[in-house]
Structure 1
Amino acid sequence: MPTGLLTPEATEQIVATCRTAIGDSLRSITYFTRDDFEQVYLRDDLERDADLSTFIGHEWRGFKTTQTAYEGSELGEYDYTIRVFENGFLVRVTTDSEGVFVTTDGLTVKDFEEVATALDSFLSSREIS
């Protein structure tokens, strides 16, 4: 359900970006800020019954915790998170002010890298303060 967080053009861009990188394995796309979220895509065979507000709270806190915990480590700068579940995967790409998490069916590491890089470019181009 649109909340107005993204323009129709931005919504179209983020869906096209994910569909191009992931194809038919794409399950859902949720855009979020610190205060709000919008599920911008849900595959037709899935139900709208996920508790997205809880997911967003966890993903936002998770980003902040991970970013702080590994800051200055020899691993380098934090890029994105992949979560593995019994029925699929969640990829989270976050900046200091906004983020996107995408759920998928099975993907390769190369697919994860491709979608994470594309989403990072999308978020970086928006420059929300």
Structure 2
Amino acid sequence: MDDGLLTPQARDRLTTVCRTAAGDSLRSLTYFNRFDYEQVYLREDLRQDADLSSFIGNEWHDFKTTQDAYRGSELGDYRYTIRVFDNGYLVRITTEDTGVFVTTDGITMQDFEALSAAVTEVLGNWMVDE
């Protein structure tokens, strides 16, 4: 569903921070909340045929389950999830109310850390601005 959950400025900001962290390895970027989603970026060499609604349902549910399961553990607070696939990676970064999943080609752990930090800051700033 691409019904304008984000302003053009917010889409540009999110795309910029993800492109900065992942470079040309960035495949796609999708913003979501519990009820809706918006694909913000899709690299031009990829087809737009993924079932994003299924991804969103899974990622939202899994975020809540993971957050609850590890709350209070010696590992500390949950920060983000990396999923590894044959053709790339999916990184889920979420707050209590919104989230982003980013797909990439191979990047380093430091790139994942930078991506997570940048997206978390952007999402956090939106919450303060609202």
Q: How many residues are matched?
A: 129
SS at match of 1:111: helix
- Structure 2 unpaired stretches of 5+: none
* Cα distance in 2 between the residues matched to 1:4 and 1:52: 16
* Cα distance in 1 between the residues matched to 2:2 and 2:8: 9
Describe how 1:41-80 pairs up with structure 2 within 5 A: 41-80=41-80
Provide Cα deviations, 1:68-100, integer angstroms capped at 9, x if missing partner: 000000000000000000000001000110000
Runs of 4+ in 1 over 6 A off after TM superposition: none
Question: Identical aligned pairs, as a percentage?
Answer: 62
* Cα distance in 2 between the residues matched to 1:2 and 1:67: 27
Alpha-carbon deviation of 1:14?
Answer: 0.2
- Structure 1 unpaired stretches of 5+: none
Provide the TM-score with structure 1 as the length reference: 0.97
* Cα distance in 2 between the residues matched to 1:10 and 1:49: 24
Give the structure 1 partner of residue 98 of structure 2: 98
AA matched with 2:54? T
Does the alignment pair 1:122 with 2:122? Answer: yes
SS at match of 2:66: helix
AA matched with 2:68? T
Alpha-carbon deviation of 1:3?
Answer: 1.4
SS at match of 1:103: strand
Alpha-carbon deviation of 1:4?
Answer: 1.2
Alpha-carbon deviation of 1:2?
Answer: 3.7
Provide the TM-score with structure 2 as the length reference: 0.96
Aligned-CA RMSD value: 1.2
* Cα distance in 2 between the residues matched to 1:92 and 1:79: 9
